[in-house]
Amino acid sequence: MDLREIRVNAGRLRNTLEKMAEIGGTPGGGVHRLALSDDDKQARDLLIRWLREGEIEIKVDEMGNIFGLRPGKDLSLPPVMSGSHIDSQPKGGRFDGIYGVMATLEVLRTIQEKGIRTTRSIMIVDWTNEEGSRFSPAMAGSGVWAGKLEREWVYTRRDLQGRAFGEELERIGYKGKEPAKRWPIQAYFELHIEQGPILEKVGKTIGVPMGIVGISWYDVEIEGKANQVGPTPMEGRNDALCAAAEMILQVEALPVEMGGNMVATVGEIHNAPNSRNIIPGQVQFTVDLRSWDDLLLDRAGKELRNHFQRIAAQRGCPARMEKIWNVEHTAFDGSLVARIAKIAEEIGYSSHSLVSGAGHDATYVNQVGPTAMIFVPSIGGRSHVEVENTRWEDCEAGANVLLQCILQAAS
């Protein structure tokens, strides 16, 4: 049997994805499966049932990360790891995260079915709370496992209802006994939807990211002067929302201004007192800057600070801009990246080199061992929304590339 001829069962993969999408499924066709919710638990239970049917050994660590091991011939060698996450954004899509887990399950089923014994063990993983939308920070499970986040600190993080991460983890029965602590790996693969429009635009099937962009997060707060709208003339107003509006347009213009490859976004805004007939007295908003070029990112932040100070001074609305998070770009393992492109070509899929604009568990795992990602196209580039979609033949293509990656790495 030529292992290079082996392919996944596309119908079975689709089936598992559709079954999973029922858990936390929304009327709008998406998935609402927040980390450590009842739906997360139900999806985890189903994954474990499926893994047990495939005679996979299950381990759950203190962070709720689920590992499933298919032992290789030589148990002394570090395993090949592959997976992603089960949790979703609020009213998110049916592919983000779960596709990488279900495709790995399909790879294991295919290998099992064909009776293949690999040299190295293969390990499937579901990382807890990748999204970070219920409990901040994102990528909490992989972060603790990789030794980059403090487990006890993550336990104390609370959702908007005040419930703590640690309590919720225990409540759904996934606070495991295994230490959440890195171990040597031969390779880590994460198959994921692109979440952007590039593959669709260039008409390619497999995206091969060189790595993940650097990200800077800022919080901005503007002090204006709240006042009754009617009796307060336009001149002499200190309208915090008008100041914010000017700043938001400045953020939008920043990438062109910096002349580099970056994106800049204001995603969140809070206006106070937020009343129809009161001049806004205080506005808070967020800024998200991303670029592969860490230096550019740093200069962009400084440039923005200058703009904000100028606008604040002109309008008599003092502004504070605080950098709350910064992560430099992640470069994936060069030989793994090259291998993915080569495998795509061998199977007959077109591929395209790009950069991931979104963070992934791969960011942390990359600090433990050789890591790379495989992308498939997102229809219309949409993600984190209910209409998030990927064609079934592309799901199949990604899984076939993953299968060959894993087989080669485990041989």
Contacts with a second copy by CB under 8 A lie at: 89-91, 133, 194-198, 213, 215, 217, 225-234, 236, 239, 241-242, 244-246, 248-249, 252, 255-256, 263-269, 271, 273-281, 286, 288, 290, 356-359, 378, 381-385
Residues 36 and 30: beta-carbon distance below 8 Å: no
* Closest to a second copy by CB, 175 or 192: 192
Contacts of residue 398, defined as CB under 8 A and 6 or more positions apart, other chains included, come to 99, 103, 191, 206, 374, 375, 376
Least distance (Å) from a second copy to the CB of residue 142? 17
Least distance (Å) from a second copy to the CB of residue 380? 9
Q: Coil, helix or strand for 323? A: strand
Q: How far apart are CA 342 and CA 158, in angstroms?
A: 44
Sign of CA dihedral 346, 81, 207, 43: positive
The string of DSSP letters for 142-206 reads HHHHTTSS-HHHHHH-B-TT--BHHHHHHHTT---SB-------SEEEEEEE--SSHHHHHT-SE
* Closest to a second copy by CB, 110 or 238: 238
Q: Give which of 202, 212, 206 is closest to 343, Cα–Cα.
A: 206
Contacts of residue 295, defined as CB under 8 A and 6 or more positions apart, other chains included, come to none
Least distance (Å) from a second copy to the CB of residue 9? 29
Q: How many CB atoms lie under 10 A from the CB of residue 371? A: 26
Q: How far apart are CA 254 and CA 241, in angstroms?
A: 20
Q: Coil, helix or strand for 3? A: helix
Least distance (Å) from a second copy to the CB of residue 243? 10
The string of DSSP letters for 50-88 reads HHHHTTPEEEEBTT--EEEEE--S-TTSPPEEEEE----
Least distance (Å) from a second copy to the CB of residue 31? 15
Least distance (Å) from a second copy to the CB of residue 100? 15
* Closest to a second copy by CB, 159 or 246: 246
- The kind and range of the H/E element at 263 are strand 262-265
* Closest to a second copy by CB, 249 or 295: 249
* Closest to a second copy by CB, 26 or 232: 232
Structure tokens at 57: 């050994």
* Closest to a second copy by CB, 176 or 281: 281
Least distance (Å) from a second copy to the CB of residue 308? 14
Least distance (Å) from a second copy to the CB of residue 193? 9
* Closest to a second copy by CB, 75 or 256: 256
Amino acid at 221: E
* Closest to a second copy by CB, 30 or 141: 30
Q: Give which of 363, 195, 215 is closest to 289, Cα–Cα.
A: 215
* Closest to a second copy by CB, 45 or 219: 219
Least distance (Å) from a second copy to the CB of residue 267? 5
